Copies of this chain bind each other. A is one copy, B any other.
Amino acid sequence: MSAAPLYDRVALIGLGLIASSMAWAIRGAGLAREVVGTARSAETRATAQEIGLCDRVTETAAEAVVGADLVVLAAPVGAMGALAEEIAPHLAPGATVTDVGSVKRAVVDAVAPHIPAGVHFIPAHPLAGTEHSGPRAGFATLFENRWCLLVPQPETDPAATARLRALWAGMGAHVDEMDADHHDLVLAVTSHAPHLIAYTMVGVADDLRRVTDSEVIKYSAAGFRDFTRIAASDPTMWRDVFLTNKDATLEILGRFTEELFALQRAIRTGDGEMLHAYFTRTRAIRRGIIEAGQDTDAPDFGRVKTGS
């Protein structure tokens, strides 16, 4: 609360996990004088009022952005273009528009054409999440020690980018910049393909006739449960991710299938040496992630017991 606020008024359009965490983090650290929020669903707006998420909740996105010097588009990627068109006439000159979508090329293509001259557009993607969705899911520390990737456009004012970097740093995140296409490829590897694979494995387990759902659930600690968390994420958000990062995701899935077939062949032919060498190599990546502070090596992830 000691420093002057970075922004006068932040408008959050959409109040799901990410935006509600931003509201708590921004207000908690005094990073803006006022946080205004809105959501398309009346129920979400009522919940935001009830839990005191924002300083003010408006009925429409157009109202929310009036007088805001930072506008955050926090809707599913597929809804961003229409949203940008809706708010464009109401944006204040000199304002910054950003987003928190998991795909960047499609957001740039859909949103940039609607951004008026004199307004800065800086796409962003905080790499943080939980399996929960909605306005009650947010918490102030979600971004601590996580990365936020900014995708400044060629014409973006460096001062506007520096201010947005400071906001994310103020919420505890590390900030990097990259271009939209590289972002989409990196995320296809680190997030989109793993999510699709996890969804698939959970779907297979649910679909087998000879193994019951209750067996799958009871015995999940043997590995399966680590797939179920990421396969519990918001269906609308993920549908849009795959539809809008189609090429990179399909490329990585193609590589994955090729590699999976090689391992399947090694199993079928009993090639223990190949399997052992492969499994030894993958350990190094895990060590790197722990050293980089992006996970803990506490037994069982430091999970707490939850009854029975």
A55 within 8 A of B: no
Instruction: Kindly identify, within residues 67 to 104 of chain A, every residue whose CB is under 8 Å from any CB belonging to chain B.
Output: 78, 102
Using C-beta atoms within 8 Å of the partner chain, give the interface range for chain A.
35 or more
Interface string of A290-303 (1 = CB under 8 A from B): 10111111111111
A283 to chain B: which residues have CB within 8 Å? 231-232, 235
Interface string of A230-248 (1 = CB under 8 A from B): 1111011011101100100
Contact B278 A217 (CB under 8 A): no
A298 to B301, CA, bound (A): 11
A127 to chain B: which residues have CB within 8 Å? 219, 221-222
Contact A189 B224 (CB under 8 A): yes
A142 within 8 A of B: yes
A21 to B275, CA, bound (A): 27
Contact A268 B295 (CB under 8 A): no
A275 to chain B: which residues have CB within 8 Å? 235, 238-239, 242-243
State how many angstroms separate the Cβ of A103 from the closest Cβ of chain B.
Answer: 12
Instruction: Kindly identify, within residues 177 to 214 of chain A, every residue whose CB is under 8 Å from any CB belonging to chain B.
Output: 185-187, 189-208, 210-211, 213-214
Instruction: Kindly identify, within residues 260 to 299 of chain A, every residue whose CB is under 8 Å from any CB belonging to chain B.
Output: 260, 263-264, 267-268, 270, 272, 275-276, 278-290, 292-299
A157 to chain B: which residues have CB within 8 Å? none
A146 to chain B: which residues have CB within 8 Å? 221
Contact B260 A264 (CB under 8 A): no
State how many angstroms separate the Cβ of A10 from the closest Cβ of chain B.
Answer: 22
Partner of A285, one of B202, B257, B260, B264: B202
Contact A207 B259 (CB under 8 A): yes
A191 to B229, CA, bound (A): 15
Instruction: Kindly identify, within residues 111 to 128 of chain A, every residue whose CB is under 8 Å from any CB belonging to chain B.
Output: 127-128
Contact A205 B190 (CB under 8 A): yes
State how many angstroms separate the Cβ of A199 from the closest Cβ of chain B.
Answer: 5
**Given A186-B216, A190-B215, 19 additional A-B pairs, CB 8 A:** A130-B299, A131-B286, A145-B308, A146-B221, A191-B222, A192-B223, A193-B201, A194-B223, A196-B267, A207-B255, A213-B288, A217-B294, A226-B229, A231-B282, A238-B275, A243-B272, A246-B268, A246-B270, A296-B306
| A-B contacts, 27 listed (Cβ < 8 Å) | A127-B219, A128-B221, A144-B305, A189-B224, A196-B264, A196-B267, A199-B279, A199-B282, A200-B256, A200-B260, A203-B259, A203-B281, A213-B285, A217-B294, A218-B294, A225-B294, A226-B230, A229-B295, A229-B301, A235-B276, A290-B306, A292-B308, A293-B307, A296-B303, A298-B303, A301-B303, A302-B303
